[in-house]
């Protein structure tokens, strides 16, 4: 069976960005899910940082996973993937120099694109967990990522959180990242189409939205008209796997009911114990709500 090279898959992703269409990502978290997604005709996948944290550490998405652990998972996927996949590289695992290392490692792993966000990660002592780095530092990370890549087909996507800043500030950030050379802009926390229009009107690079299934943004044609090429609606496939694993093991133990009433979200909360991490962050780091 013929296989496409990593560079060819990256070109496919760039063709997707250059199109006039909007594509929804498949959540790919291991080699099997990547093969399934490609076989079902998905045009693009994503390895989410939150999913990698769950799968590798059984821990919530608090920037606990290391670069090497994340790269190992991306490499496993990259060995077999026949669809381009995006790596959610969080903050690049440190400063701009760390971003360079992150790009080098993920490029070798076979990703087609990666997102670098401007959230202040990991959470800092005495700060809010949603604080952002300065625009200048964000620009530096974008430029460092571009400098580090070897294959020019690899797409560098700058990510920011529109939910924690006024519209004008988000617009300023995204325009600055575009000017710095980002191949695309990823935005989290868009409330509705009016919110998107206010931010996107002065951007010319392709957009990627993390919507978590927001019904107010459930119009792919309208999204496409506003320059959105990639939508991450969530990671339902992985959470369904958690639920299926739990119910299968319950059945194996001959429980009265082989399936439980617990949802995948409730199961994830139970087994990652996020309230413990929140309490530790408050106690040891004075992290603000």
The tens-digit pLDDT sequence of the chain (289 residues) is 568 999 999 999 999 999 999 999 999 999 999 999 999 999 999 999 999 999 999 999 999 999 999 999 999 999 999 999 999 999 999 999 999 999 999 999 999 999 999 999 999 999 998 999 999 999 999 999 999 999 999 999 999 999 999 999 999 999 999 999 999 999 999 999 999 999 999 999 999 999 999 999 999 999 999 999 999 999 999 999 999 999 999 888 887 766 678 899 999 999 999 999 999 999 999 998 7
* Nearest-angstrom CA–CA distance, 136 and 153: 25
The Cα-based distances of 70 to 63, 111, 243 in angstroms read 11, 12, 23
**DSSP assignment letter at 123:** P
Residues 151 and 109: beta-carbon distance below 8 Å: no
Residue 116: inside a domain, yes or no? Answer: yes
Q: Give residue 158's domain range.
A: 6-235
Q: How many helices (H) and strands (E) does the chain have?
A: 12, 9
Residue 285: inside a domain, yes or no? Answer: no
Residue 284: inside a domain, yes or no? Answer: no
Residue 189: inside a domain, yes or no? Answer: yes
Residue 281: inside a domain, yes or no? Answer: no
Exposed/middle/buried for residue 169 (C-beta within 10 Å: 0-12, 13-18, 19+): middle
3-class SS of residue 210 = strand
Angle of CA points 251, 254, 255, to nearest 5°: 80
Q: pTM for the whole thing?
A: 0.95
Residues 10 and 16: beta-carbon distance below 8 Å: no
The Cα-based distances of 272 to 14, 29, 61, 157, 277 in angstroms read 36, 17, 10, 29, 9
Radius of gyration, alpha carbons of the chain: 19
Residue 161: inside a domain, yes or no? Answer: yes
Structural domain total, the chain: 1
Residue 228: inside a domain, yes or no? Answer: yes
Residue 54: inside a domain, yes or no? Answer: yes
Return the CATH number at 145. Answer: 3.20.20.60
The Cα-based distances of 160 to 55, 68, 243, 268 in angstroms read 24, 24, 31, 26
């Amino acid at each position: 069976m013929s296989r496409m090279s990593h560079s060819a898959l990256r070109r496919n992703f760039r063709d997707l960005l250059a199109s006039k269409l909007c594509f929804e990502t498949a959540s790919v978290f291991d080699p099997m899910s990547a093969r399934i997604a490609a076989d079902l005709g998905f045009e693009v996948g994503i390895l989410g940082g939150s999913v990698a944290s769950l799968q590798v550490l059984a821990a919530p998405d608090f920037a606990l996973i290391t670069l090497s652990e994340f790269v190992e998972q991306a490499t496993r996927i990259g060995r077999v993937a026949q669809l381009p996949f995006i790596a959610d590289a969080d903050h690049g695992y440190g400063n701009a120099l760390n971003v360079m290392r992150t790009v080098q490692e993920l490029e070798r792993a076979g990703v087609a694109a990666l997102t670098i966000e401007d959230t202040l990660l990991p959470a800092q002592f005495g700060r809010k967990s949603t604080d952002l780095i300065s625009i200048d530092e964000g620009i530096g990370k974008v430029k460092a990522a571009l400098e580090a890549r070897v294959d020019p087909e690899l797409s560098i996507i700058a990510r920011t959180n529109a939910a924690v800043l006024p519209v004008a500030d988000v617009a300023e950030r995204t325009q600055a990242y575009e000017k710095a050379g980002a191949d695309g802009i990823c935005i989290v926390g868009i409330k509705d189409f009016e919110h998107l229009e206010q931010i996107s009107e002065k951007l010319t690079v392709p957009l990627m939205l993390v919507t978590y299934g927001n019904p107010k943004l459930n119009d792919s044609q309208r999204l496409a008209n506003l320059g959105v090429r990639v939508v991450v609606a969530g990671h339902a496939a992985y959470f369904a796997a958690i639920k299926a694993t739990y119910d299968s093991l319950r059945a194996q133990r001959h429980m009265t009911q082989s399936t439980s009433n617990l949802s995948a979200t409730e199961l994830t909360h139970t087994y990652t114990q996020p309230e413990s991490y929140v309490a530790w962050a408050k106690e040891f780091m004075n992290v603000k709500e």
